[in-house]
Amino acid sequence: MKVTLGVAALNVVLLFLARLQFSRASVLLNWALVPVLLVTMRWVIKRALIGAGGWVRPMVIIGWGENAVETALAFKDESLMGLRLAAFLIPDGKDKLVHDLTDKHGDPIPSISLGRDPTQTIRQLGNPHVVLAMEQGGIEHYQDMIQQLSRNNSDLQLVPALRGLPLYGMEANHFFAHEVLILTMRNNLARRLPRLIKRSFDLVVSSLVLLLASPVFAFIAYRVSRSGRPIFFGHTRIGQHGEPFKCYKFRTMAPNADELLANLLANSAEARAEWERDFKLKNDPRITPIGHFLRKTSLDELPQIWNVLKGEMSLVGPRPIVDAELERYGNQVDYYLEAKPGITGLWQISGRNDVTYDTRVYLDAWYVKNWSLFNDIVIMLRTVKVIFRREGAY
């Protein structure tokens, strides 16, 4: 991403020095689309290579606990890295790892004893890619083993147990002649330049979407108007720094929605419990026929582009919540309040309404701690896939 920004700046400087006639809007639009095209082309090429049987290498994870399992899940989600887990290797003195992970054939991932000669064990497995994912204190306890593995593996990877820390953009440095590692953590959304980049990206892309999707807007507005007025619905949500704002959507509920909800909650203990737990109902009697379609496809959220243009929301961000939900974020609430809510986000591409509320909170906090423009682009591309599958939407 830094290379792209650098080349874009160089392009603008050269155009200016050459005194060529050019449209500033055109140059801005072209370079705003470059990151999207780069991510898309990388995805297409890697998918083609994997489909042809290439770009795949077996991997083993050395570990015995939660960090090992979480590492395995992370690599599984990032299949385009081309690494496929073959086995967990358990160091001497540790119990067999308990997990429910399976390979592409549905068979359980085996847990194999690393033995007294780790190098020999790895050779017997065909010299796969090696990842160390130990728990707290494991690195210090197994120093000799780690040194032996590093001498015999040119690209050994280490996954320290750093849950809860902002990992994106973290830089590792060391002192000369000292075995001291310094991890520099950056809060990207607290820095002026990343905020400017995110806002510029929001303005360019949302303006383009608004222009291209105007016929879709008109058609949906017509269909919604047939079930009554108003066409748009503004619900108060909590935005950045705790500021309330009207979050716009196409109306998907009946005009007497409040009355229908009150009657249902008064007469159904099951519905009341679901509402108190998730602030949503899977079988909501208030939703109109066209509303069901709009929610399944997430087209009801298109008017939020206006919230983005006004600066109240972002294209990608935490899920916009109501005031009553803030207390459910606990000690993670500051992460939510630091960013602008998004039309889409990690919650949108991770199961939507099918994930638990605690998972939603975790995903919102992770997004803010690890923000990057690249992550925003990936989330937007994955959102398209989720919308077409219509998974977890109601």
Distances, alpha carbon 64 to alpha carbons 68, 92, 114, 145, in Å:
6, 10, 11, 15
| Cis geometry, peptide bond prior to residue 303 (ω within 30 degrees of 0) | no
- Cα–Cα–Cα angle for 389, 315, 335, rounded to 5 degrees: 105
Q: What per-residue confidence (pLDDT) applies to 136? A: 73
Classify 131 as helix, strand or coil: strand
350 vs 343: CA distance, rounded Å: 14
Residue 296 near residue 337, CB atoms below 8 Å: no
**pLDDT beneath 50: ranges in the chain:** 394
Q: 392 vs 290, 296, 346, 377, 387, CA distance in Å?
A: 18, 8, 13, 21, 10
Is there a contact between 372 and 316 (Cβ–Cβ < 8 Å)?
Answer: no
| Domains, in order of start, for the chain | 57-161 (3.40.50), 190-252+287-389 (no CATH)
How deeply is 349 buried, as exposed, middle or buried, from its count of CB atoms within 10 A (0-12, 13-18, 19+)?
Answer: buried
**CA pair distance 231, 222, nearest whole angstrom:** 8
Give the Cα separation of 346 and 356 in Å (integer): 13
Region of residue 106 (left: phi > 0; alpha: psi -120 to 50; beta: else): left
The per-residue DSSP string of 312-367 comes to S-EEE-SPPB-GGGGGGGGGGHHHHHHS--EEE-HHHHTTGGGS-HHHHHHHHHHH
| Of 153, 180, 205, 214, the residue nearest 379 (C-alpha) | 205
The pLDDT tens digits for 250-287 are 988 877 767 777 777 777 787 778 777 767 777 777 78
pLDDT of residue 162: 73
Displacement of CA 142 from its chain's centroid (Å): 34
Residues 6+ apart with CB under 8 A from 193: none
Measure the CA–CA gap between 59 and 78, rounded to whole angstroms.
13
pLDDT of the residue at 35: 74
Q: What is the pLDDT of residue 106?
A: 80
CA separation for the pair 100, 141 (Å, rounded): 27
* Residue 310, pLDDT score: 94
Q: Which of 109, 70, 65, 69 is nearest to 87 (CA)?
A: 109
Contact 371, 189 (CB under 8 A): yes
Query: So what's the pLDDT on residue 207?
Result: 92
Query: Strand 232-238 vs strand 244-250: parallel, antiparallel, or unpaired?
Result: antiparallel
pTM over 0.75: no
pLDDT for res 318? 93
pLDDT at 71: 87
- Between CA 61 and CA 158 the distance in angstroms is 10
Is residue 363 within 8 A of residue 345, CB to CB? The reply is: yes
Beta bridge partners of 325: none
Question: Of 276, 299, 143, 154, whose CA–CA distance to 221 is shortest?
Answer: 299
**Encoded tokens for 284:** 């909501």
Residue ranges of alpha helices (H) inside the chain are: 2-17, 24-51, 66-77, 118-124, 138-141, 143-152, 192-212, 214-225, 257-267, 269-278, 289-297, 304-310, 333-338, 346-349, 357-369, 373-389
pLDDT of residue 246: 95
Whether 251 contacts 233, CB under 8 Å: yes
Q: Residue 69 has what pLDDT?
A: 86
